Amino acid sequence: PAPTPTPAPAFNFKPVAKSLADMVVLPAGYSASVLYAVGDPLFPGVLPYRNNGTDTDFERRAGDHHDGMEYFGLNAAGTARDDQGSERGLLGMNHENITEVFLHANGPSLIGGVRPLEEVNREIAAHGVSVVEVQKTAGRFRVNAASRYNRRITPQTPVEVAGPARGSALLRSTYSPDGLRARGTLNNCATGQTPWGTLLTCEENWAGYFARAAGDNLRRDANQIESMKRYGLSEGSNGSRWHTPSVEDAYLRFDIAVKGGSFDGSDDYRNEANTFGYVVEIDPYDPNAVPRKRTALGRFAHEAAVCPRPVAGQPVVFYMGDDARNEYIYKFVSKALWEPSDAARGGMAVGDKYLNEGTLYAARFNADGTGEWLPLTLTNPAIAAYTRYRFQSLADIVVNARLAADAAGATKMDRPEWCAINPHNNEVYYTLTNNSTRTLATLDAANPRAYQDQKGSSTQNGNVNGHIIRTRENGDHPAATAFRWDVYLFAAEAGAEAGRINLSGLTADNDMSSPDGVWFSRKTGVLWVQTDDGAYTDVSNCMMLAALPGRVGDGGAVVVESVSGSEKRSVTTYKGKNPTVDTLRRFLVGPKGCEITGCAETPDGRTLFVNIQHPGESTRAADLNDPSRWESHWPDGGNSRPRSATIAIVRDDGGTIAVS
């Protein structure tokens, strides 16, 4: 007899309405508490956060702009790793950026082109990563500020360079003339977790922190000029001005202009930007382990790095997106084959085994629903023959992965943000958050929508609301070099034109814009979708939705017709199976001015951690003396400055989140 099909799980909550309130809105029967907010003490003896712009010890407090995070279980005594530990664990968390206006007493200042050292120190230390122990007492998670695991990693923390670029001339610096080490991590966006229990933190918009004088190209060779252009390291940029206090090279390095003649390793920071843009591995269980930049996974605006459950005797693979307009989706396939005993062994030595050697690929999406993984190697003929940039070595390829993917012919995507693995079948979901430069002339099957959205005096163009694409490897083999794909969902306002903009038939219960975070619960199989939206903020603050998304093939075909010649035009037809309120519904709406990002869960599925990033960020420094004009006061209310924070969400009856 045919097996009885497993009934699809059903949501255990009613969809919440869109909201413009300065609060976290949740379904009836759910509640949230603030767990870990910017400035919260992370070590014994640190004074309570004053939140008035005068605190100076962010190396010992929660950083700002909480972003991607991962949960790592501990046993009940807190003495050892326990992957099923749901009462006690570590959150490895990114602090992507800062809200400058609220970080300083009177907002950021600039005196004669120089930033005050005190402000620069505060800004640097408020970036990076936290490892913070959280513990459930009386049914509620709280931070354990006395934990021996607690740690802050900032842009000044010593790190090791690992993988093909280790020791490369491209990474030599005054700090490490042999190119083996570097300083810190920067603009850490989303995360990943390895099968051996370490954190992967991904460096995204690092390029914007570097100053580079006009005319610097005159002192650089053709390859360097091409590389800097491709990575957005523009001539004439002031960057963060973290170099301007001019006290020592830990600061001066943020000005990367060539100062002397040939590189002598003593007074020059020309390669500093080559030490950022990586996936960085951190062992949350060992506060003394030096973080390692895993250069084999390429250098770009990394968003996330996610790994399906590995299979004994097969390579370990990581999927990644490069979040910038018209950038690529990547996959890394390890050379070493998975040995299951490495999962429990854990630690950075296992990371060295799987993350230093392997093949980096970029994705090409074909119009017929197939796709290919293009190897970024010196033996790829398209890379060997490339003339815009001359690749000398594998180090050169990983450091300039964007140029290698250009050469290989990868598909330019609508800003790849997070990716997530469906734990039931290893299909990979990628958010393509939006792309203001997509035009009818540049549509392709995987990026098939461009339109104009007029809201009052503001006009947005391109793929305004974003979509979610998903892939299934051929033969369900993670190391396959070909895959099938479809579009799971086109984000849109419910009232937008059906058949042209609202292609997925979204309704008031599940409409959204600019999907960014995506994360699967291994316990419940729910796909969480989080938004970082600039197109839709007159209608709702950013939000999080729960999805039961089906499989590749359910989404159906996207047809783009192009008429060649100067009359080029494109038509999009989508014949997918639309999500309904039974398979996609809104679960949470955040406070004013925030982005919802970061998602992690206890292994029992009963506590969900979510990050509220930059509430109130559009507040003007000129309004700092009038709290009534601030965009948000979340989470402390009254006249308080708003704070990025992690919240812990539970069902009031103690049940599993979203589905029972």
Pick left, alpha or beta for residue 453 (phi over 0 → left; psi -120 to 50 → alpha; otherwise beta): beta
Between 190 and 252, whose beta carbon lies closer to ligand FEO? Answer: 190
Residue 303 in contact with ligand FEO, rule: CB under 6 A? yes
Cα dihedral: 27, 33, 36, 39 (round 10): 110
Between 32 and 599, whose beta carbon lies closer to Ca ion? Answer: 599
- How far apart are CB 449 and ligand FEO at their closest, in Å? 20
Query: Residues 203, 516, 601, 617: which binds Ca ion (CB under 5 A)?
Result: 516
Residue 645 in contact with ligand FEO, rule: CB under 6 A? no
Q: Where are the beta strands (DSSP E) in 491-542?
A: 515-520, 527-531
Whole-number Å distance between alpha carbons of 515 and 545: 10
Stretch that binds Ca ion, among 31-39, 218-226, 283-291, 527-535 (CB under 5 A): 527-535
- Total residues binding Ca ion (CB under 5 A): 3
Whole-number Å distance between alpha carbons of 151 and 478: 34
Between 322 and 417, whose beta carbon lies closer to Ca ion? Answer: 417
- How far apart are CB 593 and Ca ion at their closest, in Å? 12
Q: Which does 204 bind (CB under 5 to 8 A by kind): Ca ion, ligand FEO, none?
A: ligand FEO
Whole-number Å distance between alpha carbons of 202 and 199: 10
Query: Residues 55, 82, 119, 204: which binds ligand FEO (CB under 6 A)?
Result: 204
Between 128 and 346, whose beta carbon lies closer to ligand FEO? Answer: 128
Q: Which does 272 bind (CB under 5 to 8 A by kind): ligand FEO, Ca ion, none?
A: none
Between 170 and 545, whose beta carbon lies closer to Ca ion? Answer: 545
Could you tell me the maximum CA-CA distance found in the chain, to the nearest angstrom? 81
Query: Residues 87, 96, 372, 533: which binds ligand FEO (CB under 6 A)?
Result: 96
- CA–CA distances in Å: residue 19 to residues 195, 453, 591, 640: 38, 21, 8, 21
Q: Which residues face 461 on adjacent strands?
A: 452
Between 501 and 596, whose beta carbon lies closer to ligand FEO? Answer: 596
- Are 365 and 485 in contact, with CB atoms under 8 Å apart? yes
Strand order from edge to edge, sheet including 482-490: 302-306, 315-322, 329-337, 358-365, 370-375, 482-490, 467-473, 428-432, 416-421
- How far apart are CB 324 and ligand FEO at their closest, in Å? 8
Residue 100 in contact with Ca ion, rule: CB under 5 A? no
- How far apart are CB 205 and Ca ion at their closest, in Å? 9
Query: Residues 532, 601, 617, 631: which binds Ca ion (CB under 5 A)?
Result: 532
User: Residues 164 to 193: which contact ligand FEO by CB under 6 A?
Assistant: 189
Query: Residues 372, 417, 453, 533: which binds ligand FEO (CB under 6 A)?
Result: 417
Question: 292-294 and 158-162 as β-strands: parallel, antiparallel, unpaired?
Answer: parallel
- Are 333 and 354 in contact, with CB atoms under 8 Å apart? no
Between 417 and 533, whose beta carbon lies closer to ligand FEO? Answer: 417
- Are 480 and 373 in contact, with CB atoms under 8 Å apart? yes
Enumerate binding residues for Ca ion (CB under 5 A).
417, 516, 532
Enumerate binding residues for ligand FEO (CB under 6 A).
96, 189, 204, 303, 323, 417
